[in-house]
A = this chain, B = another copy of it.
Amino acid sequence: MIETRLLQQFIAVAEELHFHRAAIRLHMAQPPLSQAINRLEEKLGFVLLVRDKREVRLTAAGHAFLQGAYQTLQALNQGTEYAREVSRGLAGKLTVTALSIVGYGSLLNTFRQFKTTFPKVQLVIKEMPSLHQAQAIAAGEADIAFMRTLPIASSFLTSRLLLTEDILLALPIDHPKGVDKDVDLRHFAEDDFVFTPQALGSGYHQQLIALCEAAGFYPRVAQEAAQLHTLIGLVAGGFGVALVPETVAQSVRHDSVMYRKIRPLSPTIDTRLGLYATWDMRNDSPLLARFTSMLDFSETSAS
């Protein structure tokens, strides 16, 4: 393998076409430079320079090798520079997973802020179910996940509560029980419900079911929709009512749909939903550190 020092020495001679001047440029003496070029030619097995009649010229192969030497040093410098920027958290890739970014409210602002602050950073957002998110974090395929639930305890995973929000009931604007500012969920036991599919939310989905069960009924699921705007569309179309987080209600609006707060059933049943950020504590990505420092966590934390 040819050392970069040798490439630099060859470049100097090839550019100066004069061993003495090249040696000066390299801050060394002429004889060892001659020896170095000889070594290089020896290693390569073909002649790079012709030294005759008081002049040094490049051979065709020498010219081709010079181009290769330039490209090699350029690749080295660019690679080094890029790695340095990555080490400073100014370049690289940050992979974020989330259930559905629609409705994550302030999180979208953080994404926007991050992208403008670090324009060289590639911010990849992948939407996937909670279970896949946890796997992606564990496998190192993603840097940070935003889930509705705390993942199964792992010594390497860190989770922090980002925000808590009310669960709202979405109902058609002409629904007879939606006259008040807030509603009693028990009055909707006989209503049809529209839900996201089980797989999409896992813990999130279970929490909504649990809320209904606390109100004394198991919801009759009339229709399922993976996309939140489809879900709200179905509510508007009269297919049923739906339970949605507050931030979703803020971003997914519909003329024929109104959102109502749920009156607390008892102090033990939580009508609020958490949003958790989860990452691998072994992940030393400077970008992750910069990203998490931009998030404002709820004072209550979890590991």
Task: Identify the A interface with B (CB < 8 A).
Answer: 1-5, 7-8, 44-48, 50, 57, 59-65, 67-69, 71-76, 78-80, 82-84, 86-88, 91-92, 282, 284-287
The answer to whether B92 touches A68, judged by C-beta atoms less than 8 angstroms apart, is: no
B44 and A68 contacting across the interface, CB-CB below 8 Å: no
Partner of A57, one of B1, B60, B91, B282: B282
Can you list 14 contacts pairing A with B, beta carbon distance less than 8 Å?
A2-B80, A45-B84, A46-B84, A46-B87, A48-B83, A59-B87, A61-B286, A64-B82, A64-B91, A64-B92, A68-B79, A68-B83, A72-B75, A75-B75
Contact A286 B60 (CB under 8 A): yes
A63 / chain B contacts, CB cutoff of 8 Å: 86
A247 to B30, CA, bound (A): 56
Alpha-carbon distance A87/B63, docked complex (angstroms)? 10
Q: State whether A76 touches B72 (Cβ < 8 A).
A: yes
Question: Which B residues are CB-close (under 8 A) to A79?
Answer: 64-65, 67-69, 71-72
Q: In the complex the two chains form, is A61's CB within 8 Å of B86's CB?
A: yes
List residues of chain B with CB within 8 A of the CB of A72.
72, 75-76, 79
Choose one: B57, B60, B86; the contact of A87 (CB below 8 Å): B60
B4, A8: Cβ atoms under 8 Å? Answer: no
A169–B45 Cα distance when bound, in Å, is: 55
Bound state CA distance, A76 and B45, in angstroms?
15
Given contacts A44-B83, A46-B88, A68-B78, 8 further A-B contacts (CB under 8 A): A1-B76, A44-B84, A46-B83, A60-B86, A62-B83, A64-B82, A68-B79, A71-B75
Kindly report which residue of chain B lies nearest to residue A282, judged by CB atoms: B57
A155: shortest Cβ distance to chain B, in Å?
11
Closest to A8 in B: B1
Known: A2-B4, A8-B1, A47-B87. A80 touches B65 (CB 8 A): yes
Known: A75-B72, A83-B44, A84-B61. A284 touches B50 (CB 8 A): yes
Query: Do A86 and B68 touch (CB < 8 A)?
Result: no
Known: A46-B83, A61-B83, A67-B79. A5 touches B3 (CB 8 A): yes
Query: Chain B residue with minimal CB distance to A283?
Result: B60
Q: Which residues of B have CB within 8 Å of A287? A: 60
* Cα distance, A1 to B2, chains bound together (Å): 13
Q: Output the nearest chain B residue to A284 by Cβ-Cβ distance.
A: B59
Cβ contacts under 8 Å, A46 to chain B: 83-84, 87-88
A226 CB, min distance to chain B CBs, angstroms: 33
Most buried by B among A1, A64, A78, A286: A64
CA distance A166 to B203 in the complex (A): 95
**Which residue in chain B gives the minimum CB-CB distance to A78?**
B68
